[in-house]
Amino acid sequence: MQQAFFEIEEQSRLTDSVYRMVLRGDTSGVRAPGQFVNIRIEGTFLRRPISVCDCEPDRLTLIYKVVGKGTAILKGLPVSSKLDILTGLGNGYDLTPAGNTPLLIGGGVGVPPLYLLCKRLIARGARPTVILGFNTASEIFYEKEFRSLGADVTVTTVDGSYGTKGFVTAAMDGIPCSYFYTCGPLPMLKSVYRGTTVSGQFSLEERMGCGFGACMGCTCHTNSGDKRVCREGPVFTKEDLPWED
Amino acid sequence: MGRLSVDLCGIGLDNPLIPASGTFGYGYEFAELYDINCLGTFSFKGTTLQPRYGNPTPRIAECTAGMLNAVGLQNPGVGRVISEELPKLRTVFHKPVMANICGFSESDYVETAQRLDEQEGIGWLELNISCPNVHGGGMSFGTDPKSAGELTKAVRKAVRKPLIVKLSPNVTSIAEIAKACEAAGADALSLINTLLGLRIDLRTRRPVLANRTGGFSGPAVFPVALRMVQDVARAVRIPVVGMGGIRSAEDVLEMMMAGACCVEIGTANLVDPYACPAILEQLPRVMDTYGIRDLREIIGGANT
């Protein structure tokens, strides 16, 4: 964990409610894809945890959905505003078990952390396949960006308005998969858990107080004891999640 | 003795700042950011006899100028606190530390307190009779003068170290509870624990917290806490540790003028992990502003 001050360099709208923010500042606290940052927002009491979408030495990209007061304030902040951010929170994805053909499965605002993961996997010589799941065509974002990295991308929509109709699991059949990484809503994570035969890693979400392990607000049960989503998580292995039956 | 140093039950503190139980874990997370030996001491996560997961999530709800928590005393149990957490804690903190103790029966409290009392490095035992987030324990001991007194007496008999009883604000007269604990042998009192609160999610039309209610803390509670600290300091002769919504050096001074000999800082740590060292840095300058040479001279200064 590290505290750093960032300046907003760019704010852009990706869909009706999803925004992208590019920040300039010291990102040396970010150690792995799948980690998150916790942003202090003037006008809310608690910080807002947001997963890292992309990270370069002096630049951080975050994608967030406007769901409440905090994210509504965030989207209204003009370029060059300064933000107090705790970086490098959580464990992040472990790239070592990925193999040659890892499968990345993202749903909705669970898509962003897979971007940096995909980039890093390709840099290590892997050939990842990406499945991006959304409700409908107008909610899709980052399909092109994943393709530009060189990944093989499949998009699913629940209503069939774009790509493969159905949930992400509808597109999983026959895709080469040495290992998988996933992030998205809990029902999606659970169907990925049931629909995969290989091992993989899941990024979980929970309401947090501090985001760095002090308040014990976000604890979950795992097969190896109670873990803090913000500290030992948010990424847990398939073997560690008590989701059998 | 520096101008910031104070005494708590015969043990000197370099300064009056004490991170409160449940907001500071066992210190390691903060030790990654700064040398936590700059603190007076800290009160580590509430310990029970048996391991506890706590309440189902969500356990946190945001409020205006504060938050609700319904963690429900998650901790690994006194055995693992002693075998695993305390040895690690000692690698990052070298001063006497405060052990916070909670339970569901008198014998629970007594046994947990006895086992922690034996541990080297623990300076004080803080008896939590005020946790609002567990059923059949915690606060149920702290809302009635008779049961608060009986529990205090039983634990006092069983331990050697200074016993600080942590009081609940969710009572009609906190001074009555305070007097009962003093009469039962408490060496000091700490207050306030959190205020019982509720938030409702407009989308689901259900309480935000899985536990329905939670303990409210943060800057919004400061005036309530300050009033209660003064009520208690006027009613008893034993030391009072003040807490509730403190987030600045000015707040520390107010709390001490209301009768606190030192202060606990809780929720501020969760929002700004550097809150305590920042307050410590401000203190001498703010004391200068108000013509305070030595902190000990202001304790209870507003109470006559």
Q: Does residue A96 sit within a domain?
A: no
A12 and A74 part of one domain: yes
A141 and A174 part of one domain: yes
B191: part of which helix (H) or strand (E)?
strand B188-191
- Tell me the C-alpha distance between A230 and A232, whole Å: 6
Q: What is the DSSP letter of B125?
A: E
Q: Which amino acid is at A84?
A: D
A74 and A142 part of one domain: no
* Backbone angle region of B111, left / alpha / beta, with phi > 0 → left and psi within -120 to 50 → alpha: alpha
Q: What is the CATH number of the domain that holds A13?
A: 2.40.30.10
**Tally of structural domains, chain B:** 1
Note if B131 is an active site residue: yes
| Of A63, A89, A115, the domain-final residue | A89
Q: Domain limits at B206?
A: 6-298
Q: Does residue A164 sit within a domain?
A: yes
User: Cβ distance A160 to A134 under 8 Å?
Assistant: no
A153 and A180 part of one domain: yes
B242: part of which helix (H) or strand (E)?
strand B240-243
Q: Does residue A139 sit within a domain?
A: yes
Q: Does residue B183 sit within a domain?
A: yes
Closest alpha carbon to B18 in B161, B90, B124, B103: B124
Q: What is the CATH number of the domain that holds B44?
A: 3.20.20.70
Q: Does residue A166 sit within a domain?
A: yes
Q: Does residue A214 sit within a domain?
A: no
Closest alpha carbon to A76 in A8, A159, A172, A145: A8
Determine, for residues B74 and A209 on separate chains, whether the beta-carbon distance falls below 8 Å. Answer: no
B69: part of which helix (H) or strand (E)?
strand B66-69
Helix residue ranges per DSSP H, B11-144: 28-31, 77-80, 86-92, 106-117
Mutate to test the interface with A, among B270, B272, B274, B276 (most CBs of A within 10 A): B270
A80 and A161 part of one domain: no
A132 and A182 part of one domain: yes
**Tally of structural domains, chain A:** 2
Q: Domain limits at A44?
A: 2-89
Digitized pLDDT (tens) for each residue of chain A, 245 residues in all: 999 999 999 999 999 999 999 999 999 999 999 999 999 999 999 999 999 999 999 999 999 999 999 999 999 999 999 999 999 999 999 999 999 999 999 999 999 999 999 999 999 999 999 999 999 999 999 999 999 999 999 999 999 999 999 999 999 988 889 999 999 999 999 999 999 999 999 999 999 999 999 999 999 999 999 999 999 999 999 999 999 86
Q: Does residue B135 sit within a domain?
A: yes
Which residues does chain B have within 8 Å of residue A219's beta carbon, measured at their own beta carbons?
A: 53-54, 57, 59, 71, 74
Q: Tell whether B191 lies on the interface with A, counting CB pairs under 8 A.
A: no
Determine whether A164 is exposed, middle or buried from the number of CB atoms within 10 Å of its CB (0-12, 13-18, 19+). middle
Q: What is the DSSP letter of B168?
A: P
pLDDT at position B284: 98
**pTM value?**
0.95
Q: What is the CATH number of the domain that holds A180?
A: 3.40.50.80
Q: Does residue A209 sit within a domain?
A: no
A174 and A146 part of one domain: yes
Q: Does residue B1 sit within a domain?
A: no
pLDDT at position B131: 82
Ranges of chain B whose pLDDT falls below 70: none
Mutate to test the interface with B, among A2, A89, A210 (most CBs of B within 10 A): A210
